[in-house]
Structure 1
Amino acid sequence: MEYSVQMTFVNEIGDKVSLTLGNIRPDVTQAEVRALMDAIIAENIFFSPGGDYKTKYSAQFVQKQVTKWDMV
């Protein structure tokens, strides 16, 4: 099973900007993601054409299961 967190922020001009982090551990908590989003905003570490990330908009935890079949 693969896990990721999709986070959406609002930048200075009001546009929504999404960021996805893969290889997340399966027991990550909402509080940890909230703290991560706060740190991303506070540290201003990502570029957005519409300006700095200003507020949190949403976040979601995604589980993906892939089954590969050998066709040879």
Structure 2
Amino acid sequence: MKTLELKFLNQDNKTVTISLDSPVEPADPVAVNQAMDAIITQNAFFSAGGDLVSKKQARIVERNVFDIQL
């Protein structure tokens, strides 16, 4: 399972992560940048540490889960 993680800094300088399942690949850096800018500009999300104020990082994370037979 892959997720797109958008990481921002809030007013308390703490990292806030927004995760989106099943991202389109390959990721378009321009589109990701524009989406993150829009999230900040429109004040679309609020965190316990205040508004999101800057972009920190964007990444695609892949997680593999394997069940163990008990």
Whether TM exceeds 0.5 here: the answer is yes
Corresponding residue of 1:22: 21
Q: Which amino acid aligns with 1:25?
A: V
Larger radius of gyration: 1
Q: Which amino acid aligns with 1:59?
A: A
Per-residue deviation, residues 13-64 of structure 1 (Å, max 9, x unmatched): 1111111111211233111111111010011111201100000001102345
**CA RMSD across the alignment:** 1.9
Structure 1 residues not aligned, in runs of 5+: none
Where 1:52 maps in the other structure, the secondary structure is strand
Structure 2 residues not aligned, in runs of 5+: none
Higher strand share: 2
Extract structure 1 runs of 4+ deviating beyond 3 A: 63-68
